[in-house]
Amino acid sequence: LELIEVPEGVRERFSARSAQVEAALADRGLDRGSASPDAKQAAALSTRATKGEIDHAALAARWRADAHALGYDPDRAAPAPAWPDPDARRVAAEAAVKQAAESLAERDARFSARASNTRPDCSAKAAPTARRSAPPSPMPPRMANWRNGPC
């Protein structure tokens, strides 16, 4: 995650954990590009120090002073963009819900097509058995058939 409004030098100064993890990877002859997810996690865990009591006010003051020393004034940073109006937020939410519903419907259709193409000879045999032996389930009957194994 990079905040483009924050100059690169400031981002690097405040990325101490990233530097520690990268150094641990380098000790193993790796970098973020060549390391596996497990190696990255191991490097992150091996460099993590236990946290003691944190004075959040003092920490924020120190960060603010460090930023000013680098020539960056966080108070002058651009504020986060706001939604232009409540209608725009509602329209965006409705579009996201519609996209999710379409994606789920497409996925269900692919699964159904794959299921019917994979075991067409079993569906007629398994359906009556599934209805008698399977406990009540919110699953559609075509999926309940798969719990009973091969026909």
Same-domain status, 104 and 149: no
Same-domain status, 134 and 87: no
Same-domain status, 34 and 91: no
Same-domain status, 127 and 98: no
Residue 93 within any structural domain of the chain: yes
As a whole number of Å, the end-to-end CA separation of the chain is 51
Residue 18 within any structural domain of the chain: yes
Give CA angle at 61 (3, 17), nearest 5°.
50
- DSSP string across 94-135: HHHHHHHHHHHHHHHHHHHHHHHHH-TTTHHHHHHHHHHHSP
Same-domain status, 44 and 100: no
Query: What local confidence, expressed as pLDDT, does residue 11 receive?
Result: 84
Contact 25, 32 (CB under 8 A): yes
- Dig out the tokens for 28 from the structure: 């193993």
Same-domain status, 135 and 104: no
Running along the chain, 151 residues long, what does each successive block of 10 average in pLDDT? Answer: 75 85 93 91 89 88 91 78 75 89 76 57 52 51 52 47
pTM of the model: 0.41
Helix (H, G, I), strand (E, B) or coil at 86: helix
Mean pLDDT of the chain: 76
Query: What local confidence, expressed as pLDDT, does residue 142 receive?
Result: 54
Query: What local confidence, expressed as pLDDT, does residue 106 receive?
Result: 77
Domain extent, residue 30, equals: 8-48+55-76
pLDDT in tens, 49-75: 887 888 999 989 998 999 999 998 888
Domains in the chain, number: 3
The contacts of residue 115 (CB under 8 Å, 6+ apart) are 142, 143, 146
Residue 1 within any structural domain of the chain: no
